[in-house]
Structure 1
């Protein structure tokens, strides 16, 4: 497994401002953050609401696309306009300008209670996306790798992880370490990652949240290698050192179910955060009117330019 240094690295604690609600969309299950440097816009999804959304923070312009099934993760394409998206059991290409959808691959059709969940691209332009049990209990989740070579694309199960809920992944700046979350069992795994052939090896439990602090959901890394993790049921985002996982910063948000984080903005110092209104009682919804909103938090951390899908 990846070695843990005996001495703590001298990673500084970041400075974070107050969260600001950008889009009080009331998303049932907000997720799928993807910053577009070309459009200076943030994409995000409402998985249960089956919609893709895009916001230009500079102008406030909003746009939304509705789907006939769940949509959970998106990434921009590198050579052509549009996005690669994860639907319930499909990986597809979607052109927001024409609203056209083209299926690339179908998987796990033999597991009707499964669906795709979180995902993003690595530095080589491969799209990684995890699957999960819709009931969040059966250990049927796996991690898939979608690659391309010329006009052809391929999909492979890179890790039959057997997680009830798979979230992430996130990579170290040198691309040699990957983190993946086993959300329902409160395990954050660290793995060796081969950036050349895209293989995952030697997974080990790296961190668990304290009791009452929620469950690890979506996450991202910054240029200093710090890991930023959303807390489902914990109402916050925490920032952790990449060696021993010690907490460096905590951002409290006015919603208990925090689902994903991603850096964006012109200088990549804005931390975008999604949340969910699902699984809240009527009393909790009344107390959390911003549940399901998209938030932004100013930081002095620098994100990594989002990687785009090579297909």
Structure 2
């Protein structure tokens, strides 16, 4: 897959530097109800993202300007490219599925892990460096603590690793080898958790509260990690993306957006130094929409931070 370059990480005990970012620009003003699921494809040099509530998958090639859209019969929320087979692994409303954008075939479900939780849908997710797809479910009404964290393996095994969330977002990872940490957001509670991660076994342990966010921060939504291991988090209701020390959670930098409901972020572009950011317009009042005409747009900002190529699903 694409392991972190350990030569880029500070030595033990060293302070993490503050990132530098340029001017935020709107690159696609699509007015997504709930933009999410960012994925930069290194092999296609294209960006994928979803509008969960509109059941849309978007693909944009920055070099050619080509924009494509696929519409599904149910919500699509997260995706990763496959390492061997064609197309993508995605999360739909009920679980994990395969979809090939090159064909007109409907997505094919692989596994639906919680048929008894009829009020749930899947939300955010991504692959780890070993090619396993991690994703969280959530209560569609964002109230009941019925969401869980799952790991879906290339051999078809599905494991529930944590439970009891109303809204889930993430995960992302920082570090390498036996010193890998996984971060996961319990969005409704305003909590970001850190787990010790065993990459070989695909297990997590020692769950700790990494950061509780104050109301002025908004709520922690989607997130990513750069090659230095710094954690970047989008703020729903907070109008920004912040960058943090992965150990202390101290804020190192902030990217402000002209919209309030910032949903996720991912590095991409030819040099993996452009931070792409999605947003949402669902739930905003007419007055808020008038004040935020770009709500639901896709944004980009150039940074001095090197991203990590998105890991591929291992089959």
Question: TM bucket by the smaller chain?
Answer: over 0.9
- Rounded to whole Å, the distance in 2 between the matches of 1:115 and 1:102 is 17
**2:146 counterpart (140, 164, 177):** 140
* 2:12 matches 1:10: no
Question: Following TM superposition, where does structure 1 have runs of at least 4 consecutive aligned residues deviating by more than 4 angstroms?
Answer: none
Alpha-carbon distance in 2 for matches of 1:271, 1:115: 27
Mapping 1:52-201, distance limit 5 Å:
52-100=57-105, 101-149=107-155, 153-160=156-163, 162-174=164-176, 176-201=180-205
Consecutive unaligned residues in structure 1, runs of 5 or more: 1-6
Provide the rounded CA distance (Å) in 1 between the counterparts of 2:226 and 2:232.
8
CA-to-partner distance for each residue in 1:161-205, whole Å, 9 max, x for gaps?
x11011100001315100000000000001101101111111110
Paired residues for 1:284-299 under 5 Å: 284-299=288-303
For residue 52 of structure 1, report the CA deviation from its aligned partner. 0.3
Structure 2 CA distance, aligned partners of 1:65 and 1:85?
13
Residue 5 of structure 2 corresponds to none
- C-alpha displacement of 1:8: 6.7
**Aligned: 1:264 with 2:268:** yes
Query: Helix, strand or coil for the counterpart of 1:284?
Result: helix
Cα offset, 1:99, TM superposition: 3.0
Alpha-carbon distance in structure 2 between the residues aligned to 1:138 and 1:103: 25
Residue ranges of structure 2 left out of the alignment (5+ in a row): 1-11
Q: Are positions 1:24 and 2:29 aligned together?
A: yes
Question: How far does residue 9 in structure 1 lie from its aligned partner after superposition?
Answer: 3.5
1:278: which partner in 2? 282
How many residues are aligned here? 301
Equivalent-residue separation in structure 2 for 1:191 and 1:299 (angstroms): 28
User: 8 Å contact 1:14–1:301 — kept in the other structure?
Assistant: yes
Q: Please give the secondary structure, in 1, of the residue aligned with 2:154.
A: strand
TM-score with structure 2 setting the length: 0.93
Q: Which residue of 2 aligns with 1:301?
A: 305
Secondary structure of residue in 1 paired with 2:215:
coil
SS at match of 1:78: coil
Please tell me whether the aligned partners of residues 190 and 214 of structure 2 are also in contact (alpha carbons under 8 angstroms).
Answer: no
